[in-house]
Amino acid sequence: MSYGLFLSTVDKKPMYLQIVEQITSKVLIGDWPADMPLPSIRELAADTQVSVITVKRAYLELERAGVIVTQQGKGSFVSARADLNQELKKQELEQQVDVAIELARQLQLSDDEFVQVVQQRLR
């Protein structure tokens, strides 16, 4: 059984984050519908050949982001929240902004200067 996650060790992102992002995208595009049971942590670990602790961490992050819900003793499921899609896109926007901020810091822009750049783009 394969769950269709494609992890890479040369990716700059840590393994757990790759799992978080790929599961999130499966949920976003609807391959993994609401209420679908997720593989158990050990199943996914064996399938992707990463350690149990890494998958556990990914599931915790997914739970925190509201992508999945975990029921004690029953396992994890894709969240059935109606606004999930909206929420995930909002999170993605925030991440993109963080990337932009990082670049601004590298350019030694002050916060005000950065806001100006954003305002210019908004016009």
Partner 1 sequence: MQQFAFEMQDVSIRYPHFTLDNLNLSLPKGQVMGLVGVNGAGKSTTIRILMGLIKPDSGQVKALGYDLPKQQVAAKYEIGFASDDMRLYKTQTLQWHMDFIRSIYPAFDTAYAADLLKRFDLLAEQKIKGLSHGQRVKACLLLVLARRPKLLVLDEPTTGLDPVAREEVISELADILLDDERSVLFSSHNTHDIEKLSDHIAFLDRGKLLTLQDKESYLESWGRFRCQVTMDNSAHVAGAVSIKRKGQIAEVITDQWTQDYATQLQAAGFHVLEQHRMSLEEIFVANVKRSR
Contacting positions for partner 1 (CB under 8 A): 9, 12, 14-16, 42-43, 45-47, 49-54, 57, 105-106, 108
Supply φ then ψ for residue 56, to 5 degrees. -55, -45
Q: Considering the complex, what minimum distance in angstroms separates the CB of residue 59 from partner 1?
A: 12
Query: Is 43 within 8 Å of 50 (Cβ atoms)?
Result: no
Please, which residue, 40 or 91, has the CB nearer to partner 1? 40
Q: Considering the complex, what minimum distance in angstroms separates the CB of residue 2 from partner 1?
A: 12
Q: Where are the alpha helices (DSSP H) in 29-110?
A: 41-48, 52-64, 84-106
Please, which residue, 38 or 84, has the CB nearer to partner 1? 38
Neighbouring CB atoms inside 10 A of 79's CB total: 19
Query: Is 81 within 8 Å of 66 (Cβ atoms)?
Result: yes
Q: Considering the complex, what minimum distance in angstroms separates the CB of residue 10 from partner 1?
A: 9
**Distance between CA atoms of 50 and 60, rounded to whole angstroms?**
16
Please, which residue, 103 or 115, has the CB nearer to partner 1? 103
Q: Considering the complex, what minimum distance in angstroms separates the CB of residue 49 from partner 1?
A: 4
Please, which residue, 106 or 119, has the CB nearer to partner 1? 106
